[in-house]
Amino acid sequence: MKVTKQILLANQAWAKELTDENPDFFTRQTAGQKPQFLWIGCSDSRVSPEQKTQSLPGRMFIHRNIANLVHDDDLNLLSVIQYAVDVLEVPNIVICGHHGCGGIRATLDGGVTGPVDRWLENAREVCRAHADELDHLPADQRVDRLVEMNVRDQLLHLAGIDTVANAFAQGRDLTLHGWVYDIRDGRLKPLMEIDRHTDLGRVGRPETVLIDS
């Protein structure tokens, strides 16, 4: 059976299961969305946010890119943030990195060209900013520590985006969460939080949560 046909059959089974449990499920979905989270995660095919959080449709507004980066000139991401914060009024934004991230590994190892190489410059800036710690780690720990540092620095970038900064200035109850997903055990591991009361100049480096086993 072709893979595409398997996906379509799986979709039909999924829709039937939901309507068997609740006949009005999809009717209610057409009324609009009121998600509790904007999720900014990695494009990695192993780390689906809905699956690992058991979130039903409508709970998460989702943006994904290689290495979960926040580029100040990424109109796609900036539009997602603006819509999520100003229109949907989400109370939580999550930036989630993950164990063994290929984009972060490429940031350290090099060997990439073209658009991916240009895209990862943001992550290389993170690497340079934390070289004093990263350069002293064994090679097998360096990738995952950079994953954690990257989540930290992207969260700080996010806090400085105009849409988020304005929401903080207006006294909105908006919280930014930095998490890491560990592929080895399937757990989401919190690193840090930022809200309107956080002194961004005093945000330190997080304790490691990706313990090498």
What secondary structure letter does DSSP report for 31? T
Is 135 known to be catalytic? no
Catalytic one of 63, 96, 98, 99: 98
- Pick the catalytic residue from 42, 130, 153, 182: 42
- Alpha-helix residue ranges (DSSP H) falling in 54-192: 75-82, 102-109, 114-119, 121-129, 131-134, 139-160, 162-169
| Nearest of 158, 26, 20 to residue 92 by alpha carbon | 158
Catalytic-role residue among 63, 96, 99, 101: 101
Cα 179 to Cα 75, 141, 210, distances in angstroms: 24, 18, 11
Q: Is 44 among the catalytic positions?
A: yes
> Which candidate, 154, 152, 146, 210, places its Cα nearest to that of 183?
210
Q: How far apart are CA 185 and CA 202, in angstroms?
A: 32
DSSP result, 52-65: HHTPPTTSEEEEEE
Q: How far apart are CA 105 and CA 144, in angstroms?
A: 9
Q: Is 42 a catalytic residue?
A: yes
* Residue 127 annotated among the catalytic residues of the structure: no
Q: Which sequence positions are flagged as catalytic? A: 42, 44, 46, 98, 101
